Structures are given as C-alpha cells and as structure tokens.
Amino acid sequence: MRIRSQVIVTSDPVSAMEELERAAETSDRFVKIEKEDRLLAEDARMAIEKAYLASEERVVIVLSAPQISDVVQNKLLKVIEEPPPGKEFVIIVPSKSMILPTIRSRLPIVSLYDSKEEEDSDLDLRSLNLRTVYDYVQKNRYLSAPEMRKVVEKLVKEALKSGLYDTDEKSLRLFGRAVLLLEKGSTPVFVLTAVLLELLKKRRVAG
C-alpha cells in the first residue's frame, strides 16, 4: 500500500492502519483520529488544525470511523483539495457509498475487501459531465496499463448495466478497441479519456 492521500474501504480498519504504518518511511509521522461510532465536526477541525502545523516530516492524517457525515466531509473538502505541503489525508470507512462524490473525485479509492466482494467504480455515472470526466482523468492519470484496463472494463460494464447510455455497435467497438490499445502500449490516460468522452456523448437525456 502506498502512502498518499486516499480513501480506504475496509471492514478491518485496524489492519488497514497496520498496513499504512508498514508502508511508511521512518521519518513519517501519523496523526490518528479514530472513532468507534462516527466522526464529528470537531474531529474535522482537529484534522485541519494538524494539517496547517508546520513540520519538516511528512504527516499522514488518518480519519477512521464506521460513519462519516456529509457535514464532516464538506468541512474537510478544501484542505483535501489543496493540502499543505507534506500532508497526506487518509479516510478509512467500511463502505464507499458513504463518501461524497466531491471527495471521490479528489481522492483515489482503495478497497481492501476480498476480490469476490468487488467494489463498483468510484465515478458517479448518473451525473457524468465534462467536469467529472476531467476530475476522474486527473485522478487516474498515473495508472499503469494493467491498472487502467481494470478501470476501463469496470466503467464500461457499469455503464452498460445502468441503462443510462444509448450505446450502439460503434460504441461497443470503441470500448473493445480501448482494451486492445492498452495491451499494445497506448498511453493509458488517453485511452481512459476516449472511453469517458464516448460515454458522455451517449448519455441519455433525462425526461
């Protein structure tokens, strides 16, 4: 597991914390805000205060709880979007559905559930627009070709199942070609962008 700002989805937050600590450098310092029930607004304020304290070390601020309200997430949004230098934010929750789309668009989601309990993608296909496409591409721009293939396949599968998109033969050929391009060495972020723009073009108009 990499030490970076992220959301970790797991039923075992203790093990997730141990994994983070094993992956840390010796100079890293952890600030742990862990609750047995829910994170409160005061916990968000504490995390923000810790983020703005001067430090020569990399500081990893971990917020972990079974529940995290929209109010708490909105309080954290600005500091997550523009973190002070050397500060990383890690949110540990039991379900990705608890995380607001605004947070999802800024932090990668890492699921530690068994692969049989596969999580869905962290893109809200119901509200796809140019802004969410741009944010999603930026968040995933450093993925390797094998990682991007999983992302693309998952997105296409969810889009087809959702009934929100008027996909045709041309679209399906493009999606299939995207996987082949990744296997042949095309730049992963360009392939992801092409797939998302095709989905955006085929999105059904409400009403």
pTM of the model: 0.57
How many Cβ atoms sit within 10 Å of the Cβ of residue 188? 23
Mean pLDDT confidence for 70-98: 92
Least confident of 16-30, 46-60, 114-128: 114-128
Share of the chain above pLDDT 90, in %: 50
Alpha-carbon distances of 191 from 122, 130, 144, 177, 183, rounded to whole Å: 18, 16, 12, 9, 11
First vs last Cα of the chain: how many Å apart? 44
- pLDDT tens sequence across 187-205: 999 999 999 999 999 887 6
User: If pLDDT is split at 50, 70 and 90, which confidence band does 117 have?
Assistant: very low
For the stretch 128-173, pLDDT in tens is: 899 999 999 998 998 888 889 888 888 888 888 777 888 788 888 8
Q: What residues does each domain of the chain span?
A: 6-117, 125-202
Query: Which is higher by pLDDT, 127 or 148?
Result: 148
Q: Assign domain 6-117 to a CATH class.
A: alpha beta
